[in-house]
Amino acid sequence: MDERTKIDVNQDHTIAGVTYDASEDIMNLTLNPVDKRLRVDASITSDYQDPFNGYGLYAMLDDSTTTYIMHQNTSDAWICQKIVDATGVTTYAKGSSDTATNWTNRATLTYNDYAHTF
């Protein structure tokens, strides 16, 4: 890879970035001439899906050691968050029906971290 920056019309070295593909091309970074901010020509896409999309708050309880927050959707599917007050550690349980019974049994549900729940 040629690690020299490019030279502009005034023969000054410019600030550059390197592409993150195999070619590792050096490209000039350009600024908006009006507000002098870095110009970015890109679109950002993501396949991230918010697991709480479509869910509303069903119930919440703080028993002074643990906070439980139950979310429910219109099909009675549910997600329960368990937050340990002393550490802030949050774990999750989820199911597809019977929100009311699972809220009653919230202390004995099987909880896991975000990555393993969703």
Q: What is the pLDDT of residue 1?
A: 46
Contact 70, 91 (CB under 8 A): no
Q: What is the pLDDT of residue 17?
A: 79
Cα separation, 114 vs 96, in Å, equals 17
What is the domain partition of the chain in residue ranges?
1-42, 56-117
Confidence grade of residue 39 (pLDDT, cut at 50, 70, 90): confident
Cα separation, 100 vs 102, in Å, equals 5
Question: What's the length of the chain?
Answer: 118
Contact 5, 26 (CB under 8 A): yes
Which amino acid makes up residue 4? R
Confidence grade of residue 96 (pLDDT, cut at 50, 70, 90): very high
